[in-house]
Structure 1
Amino acid sequence: MSHTLDDAALTPFHKRLALLSSGGPFLDGYILSIIGVAMIQLTPDLGLTTNEQGLVSAVALIGIFFGAFLGGWLTDRFGRHLLFTIDLVALVACSVAQAFVNDVWWLIGLRLLIGIAVGADYPIATSLLAEFTPRRWRGKLLGAYVCMWFVGAAAAYVAGQFLLTVDGGWRWMLASAALPGLVIILLRMGTPESPRWLAKRGRTDEANAVLTKVYGPGVTVADLGEETGRNVGVGAMLRSGYGKRMAFITLFWTCSIIPLFAVYAFGPAILEALDLGGDLAHIGSAVITVLFLVGCVVAVFLVDRIGRRRLILHSFGWSAVALVGLGLATGASPWLIMALFAAYAVLIGGTQILQWVYPNELFPTEIRGSAVGLASSLSRIGAAVGTYLVPLALTGLGIGTTMLIGGAVTLAGLLVSLAWAPETRGMTLAESAALTNTTSPVRGSLRVTTVKGRHS
Structure 2
Amino acid sequence: MSTRKVSIEDLPLNKFHWKITIYTAGGPFCDGYILSVIGIALVMMIPQLGLSSLMVGLIGTSALVGIFFGGLVFGYITDLIGRKTMYVIDLLVFVVASVLQFFVGEGWQLLILRFILGVAVGADYPIATSLLAEFTPRKHRGFMLSFLVLGWWLGAVTAYIVGYLLMDLGENSWRWILASSAVPSVIVLLLRAGTPESPKWLVSKGRIEEARENLRKAFGEEADIGDIPSDPPKTSFWGIFKRGYGKRTIFMSLFWMMQVIPTFAIMTFAPTVLFAFGVSEDAATLGSVVTSIFFLIGTIIAVFMINKIGRRHILIWPFLITGIVLVALGLNPTAPLIIVVSLFAVFAIFNGGSSVLQYVYPNELFPTEVRATAVGFGTAMSRVGAAVGTFLLPLSMSGIGVGPTMIIAGITCFIGFIVSLLMAPETLHLTLEESSRVKTEQDSEILNKKLFK
What code does the residue aligned with 2:103 have? Answer: F
Whether the 8 Å contact between 2:300 and 2:353 is mirrored in structure 1 is no
Gaps of at least 5 residues in structure 1 are 439-448
The aligned runs of 1:364-375 (5 Å cut-off) are: 364-375=367-378
1:103 aligned partner = 106
Aligned partner of 2:213 in structure 1 is 209
Task: Give how far 1:64 is off.
Answer: 1.0
Distance change (3 Å), C-alpha of 1:436 and 1:231: closer
**In the alignment, what sits opposite 1:259?**
262
Secondary structure of 2:260's counterpart equals helix
Report if aligned partners of 1:436, 1:451 keep a CA contact under 8 Å in 2.
Answer: no
Amino acid aligned to 1:216 = G
Q: Verify: 1:182 aligned to 2:186, yes or no.
A: yes
Amino acid in the other structure paired with 1:293:
L
**Counterpart contact for 1:143–1:357, Cα < 8 Å:** yes
Candidates 273, 292, 302, aligned match of 2:276:
273
- Aligned twin of 1:442: none
| Aligned: 1:359 with 2:342 | no
Report deviation, 1:226. 7.3
The Cα of 1:454 is off from its aligned counterpart by 5.5
Match for 2:447 among 437, 445, 451?
A: 451
Structure 2 match to 1:191: 195
TM-score, with structure 2 as normaliser: 0.94
2:66–2:118 contact (8 Å) kept in structure 1: yes
Q: Provide closer, same or farther for how the CA distance between residues 355 and 226 of structure 1 changes in structure 2, counting only shifts above 3 A.
A: farther
Question: Offset of 1:237 from its aligned partner?
Answer: 4.5
What is the letter of the counterpart of residue 148 of structure 1? Answer: G
CA spacing shift, 1:324–1:228, aligned 2, 3 Å: farther
After TM superposition, where is structure 1 displaced by more than 4 Å over at least 4 residues in a row?
A: 224-228, 452-456
Aligned pair count reads: 445
Q: Distance in 2 between matches of 1:453 and 1:22?
A: 33
Give yes or no for the alignment of 1:220 onto 2:224.
yes
Matched, 1:118 2:114: no
Q: Which has the higher mean CA deviation after the structures are superposed, 331-340 or 162-171? A: 162-171
When the two chains are superposed, the root-mean-square deviation of aligned CA atoms in Å is 2.0
For 1:234 and 1:297, locate their aligned partners in 2 and report how far apart those are by CA, in whole Å: 34
* Deviation of 1:285 (Å): 2.0
Q: Please list every run of 5 or more consecutive structure 2 residues that lacks an aligned counterpart in the other structure.
A: none
Instruction: Give per-residue Cα distances to partners, 1:2-50, cap 9 Å, x unaligned.
Output: 9722121121111111111112221121112221222233112211111
Are 1:140 and 1:303, in contact at CA under 8 Å, matched by a contact in 2? yes
Give the stretch that moved more between structures: 361-370 or 103-112.
103-112
Does the CA contact (< 8 Å) of 1:95 and 1:174 recur in 2?
yes
Instruction: Point out the more displaced range, 32-41 or 193-202.
Output: 32-41
Among candidates 286, 294, 297, match of residue 294 of structure 1:
297
User: 1:4 — aligned with what?
Assistant: 7
Structure 2 residue aligned with 1:342: 345
Aligned-residue offset at 1:324:
1.3
Give distance in 1, aligned partners of 2:203 and 2:56: 48
CA–CA separation in structure 1 for the residues paired with 2:37 and 2:216: 42
Of 384, 390, 393, which residue of structure 2 is paired with 1:390? 393
| Identity across the alignment (%) | 44
Deviations 1:312-369 (A, max 9, x none): 1111111111111111222122111111111111111342000110000000000000
Confirm whether residue 78 of structure 1 aligns to residue 78 of structure 2: no
Residues 452 and 291 (structure 1), Cα distance of their counterparts in 2 relative to 1, 3 Å cut: closer
Aligned to 1:329: 332
Q: Shift in Å at residue 197 of structure 1? A: 0.3
Counterpart residue type for residue 253 of structure 1:
W
| Residues in 1 aligned to 2:296 and 2:133: alpha-carbon distance in whole angstroms | 22
How far 1:200 moved relative to its partner?
A: 0.7
SS of 2:245's equivalent in the other structure is helix
- Does 2:130 align with 1:127? yes
